[in-house]
Amino acid sequence: MSTLKFKTNAKCGGCVSAIGDKLNKILNPGNWSIDLTKPEKLLIVTTELPATTIIAAVTEAGFKAEQLL
């Protein structure tokens, strides 16, 4: 398993919930979190899935995600 970090444009709990609905279809709920207190609105994911799959799920929820290296 690797830990991936993404900058998102989530702003509130509703945003996190919408993103979570998509992520929970491909990940266990305990394998991701979004920290809205960070300027990057940091999404942290522990997975074996490629970053593109995570970005696609966030995009499908109507938000942006950019992988941070």
> CA-CA distance, 48 to 36, in Å (whole number)?
24
Amino acid at 30: G
Q: What is the pTM of this model?
A: 0.94
- pLDDT confidence band for 69 (50 / 70 / 90): confident
Exposure string for 28-64, b = 16+ CB within 10 A, e = fewer: eeebbebeeeeeebbbebebebebeebbebbeebebe
2-68 CATH choice from 3.30.750.24, 3.30.70.100, 3.20.20.70, 3.30.160.270: 3.30.70.100
- pLDDT confidence band for 47 (50 / 70 / 90): very high
Q: In 3D, which of 13, 11, 12, 22 has the Cα closest to residue 49?
A: 22
Q: What is the mean pLDDT of residues 24-51?
A: 96
